[in-house]
């Protein structure tokens, strides 16, 4: 199966290094990595430039375009490859894989659950994890169904993104994850966490070491880009 991974970065260089190293070591499957740096000022863009041989495509922005605009830029490029990719993984730059071959296992889980099934590993360290409304066991996998999957680590069959783009100046109360969840609900695409496949979302380190970054991001997420 052909896999495209896309990541948005903005500062958090130490986290980004750990996240990328973990992905390469523990994905368990080959992939093309698409990255967009959203206006980092801590040396992240310079580090990414040095990683050019390991990253399939890198985009740089001088300002923060927001998650939806930045995601569209990368998804448009991925779609330009036509049917090259069967699955697309949204992978945040603060994820630390805990399970060997975790992406390979996610692909197998999505295929087991059925066509157009969007899945995520169980993400440890979330401040407000979503509550599953149902559970189902299929083969070796146990799924917890949810109404929304976050952007930390989300595997999507390419078909679920065929006619989808994030609205860039719509309802500002709806973030990237909520917009994609609405798309899945309207098209009856199942969304589920896979129990036993784990990654760590390094929230504690962010709150402690990056309080200023998070406060800045909280404010900017509610400012329409370009206004």
What pLDDT, on the 0 to 100 scale, is given for residue 125? Answer: 86
Please report which confidence band the pLDDT of residue 212 belongs to, taking 50, 70 and 90 as the band edges.
Answer: low
pLDDT(205) > 90: no
CA 165 to CA 27: how far, in whole Å? 26
CATH code of the domain occupying 3-220 = 3.90.550.10
pTM reported for the whole predicted model:
0.88
- pLDDT tens track for 117-154: 999 999 998 877 778 899 999 999 999 999 999 889 99
pLDDT averaged over every residue in the chain? 88
| Residue ranges per structural domain of the chain | 3-220
More confident residue, 143 or 205: 143
pLDDT(79) > 90: yes
More confident residue, 55 or 65: 55
- pLDDT tens track for 86-123: 999 999 999 999 999 999 999 999 999 999 999 999 99
pLDDT(178) > 70: yes
Rounded average pLDDT over 55-75: 94
What pLDDT, on the 0 to 100 scale, is given for residue 131? Answer: 84
More confident residue, 159 or 205: 159
């Amino acid at each position: 199966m052909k896999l495209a991974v896309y990541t948005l970065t903005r500062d958090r260089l130490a986290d980004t290094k750990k996240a990328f190293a973990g992905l390469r070591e523990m994905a368990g499957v080959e992939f093309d990595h698409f990255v967009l740096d959203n206006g980092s000022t801590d040396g992240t863009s310079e580090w990414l430039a040095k990683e050019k041989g390991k990253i399939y495509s890198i985009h740089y922005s001088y300002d923060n375009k927001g998650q939806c605009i930045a995601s569209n830029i990368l998804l448009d490029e991925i779609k330009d490859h036509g049917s090259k990719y069967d699955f697309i993984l949204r992978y945040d730059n603060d994820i630390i894989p805990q399970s060997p071959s975790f992406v390979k296992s996610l692909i197998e889980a999505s295929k087991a659950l059925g066509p157009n099934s969007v899945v995520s590993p169980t993400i440890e360290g979330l401040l407000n994890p979503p509550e599953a409304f149902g559970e189902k066991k299929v083969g070796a996998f146990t799924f917890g169904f949810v109404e929304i999957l976050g952007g930390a680590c989300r595997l999507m069959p390419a078909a679920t993104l065929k006619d989808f783009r994030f609205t860039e100046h719509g309802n500002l109360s709806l973030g990237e994850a909520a917009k994609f969840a609405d798309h899945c609900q309207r098209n009856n695409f199942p969304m589920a966490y896979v129990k036993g496949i784990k990654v760590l979302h390094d929230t504690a380190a962010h709150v402690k070491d990056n309080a200023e970054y998070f406060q800045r991001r909280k404010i900017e997420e509610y400012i329409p880009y370009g206004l």
